[in-house]
Amino acid sequence: MEESSGGPVAEDVRRRILSMLAQGTLRPGSRLGTEREMADTFAVSRSTLRSALLPLSQAGVLERRTGRTGGTFVRADIVERNAAELAGLPARLHSGGHTSTSRVLGTDRRPATPVEAHALEISETTDIFTIRRLRFADGVPLSVDLACFVADHMEDLLEQPLGGSLYELLRVRYGLVPATTTETIEVVSASQREAQWLEIAHRKPLLAITRVTRDSTGRPFEYAYDLFRADRVRLTATSHGTVGAVERSVSSA
């Protein structure tokens, strides 16, 4: 017979969830299900389940999400990212102790749009390569990235493996090394398609980062538009100077 809320049965559910985390059955970002689904899985009442989950939510182990794709999830760690950094995302994730994987969503060769041409300092008739990828940290979707490169600088780019660090690929194969980068950051709402890719609710906030990267001669070779889940990234920026040196940080809850 089931114990009262908060009793031994609730404690047993908590221990079973923690055991699944320790064994790797549940990983950061894993969905445990809705309240009804979890009550059925653990063969307890919904009131006992709520009692079991509350301490885990308060401790930051679990989080509740609403909406069509909602439920209870294992909380994923926040990723630290420096604004206008020259290192690629995989290097940043690995230095922070996170795993990093990518999935190519699509590639294209086409004439540059006016915005892309202006950023890359080319004519609108010049061909560019575009690479759109879904990036994961610790197995959980982190960002959707669109990178644009001038095709003349790297004719066989789309024939190369694109799942790893593009900056490392550009350095090894084409001798292109980022020397400076300029970023513009704003908050936007996730479209239906972006929400599906990132496994979040439609219109959830995203950090949109527009980036132009230049080589040592000052020539731009990359124009990128990256969309980061606002609940998974903390953006920091440090400014150094002889007068009024400041450090700023933008954090997501």
Q: What is the pLDDT of residues 1-49, one digit of tens each?
A: 343 446 888 888 888 888 887 777 777 777 888 888 889 989 999 889 9
**% of the chain residues with pLDDT over 70:** 79
* pLDDT given at position 1: 36
* pLDDT given at position 177: 92
- Tally of CB atoms within 10 A around 9: 21
Q: Per-residue pLDDT for 252 more than 60?
A: no
Calculate the average pLDDT of the chain: 82
CA proximity to 152, closest of 113, 92, 109: 109
Global pTM reads 0.66
Numbered ranges of CATH 1.10.10.10 in the chain: 8-74
162 dihedral zone (left: phi>0; alpha: psi -120 to 50; beta)? alpha
For residues 155-160, average pLDDT: 95
- Fold held by 79-236: Chorismate lyase (3.40.1410)
Question: How far is the C-alpha of 226 from the C-alpha of 247, rounded, in Å?
Answer: 23
Q: Per-residue pLDDT for 240 more than 90?
A: no
Numbered ranges of CATH 3.40.1410.10 in the chain: 79-236
Q: Per-residue pLDDT for 244 more than 90?
A: no
Q: Per-residue pLDDT for 112 more than 90?
A: yes
Q: Which residue has the higher pLDDT, 196 or 84?
A: 196
Question: How far is the C-alpha of 168 from the C-alpha of 87, rounded, in Å?
Answer: 9
**% of the chain residues with pLDDT over 90:** 40
Name, in order, each residue with C-beta under 8 angstroms of 185's C-beta and a sequence gap of 6 or more. 83, 207, 208, 209, 210, 235, 250
Task: Give SS3 for 63.
Answer: strand
Question: What CATH class has 8-74?
Answer: mainly alpha
* pLDDT given at position 103: 94
31 contacts 70 by C-beta, under 8 angstroms: no
Q: Per-residue pLDDT for 218 more than 50?
A: yes
Tens-place pLDDT, residues 74-108: 877 666 666 656 566 666 656 666 677 899 999 99
For residues 101-119, average pLDDT: 95
* pLDDT given at position 6: 63
Residue written as token pair 């690629």: 88
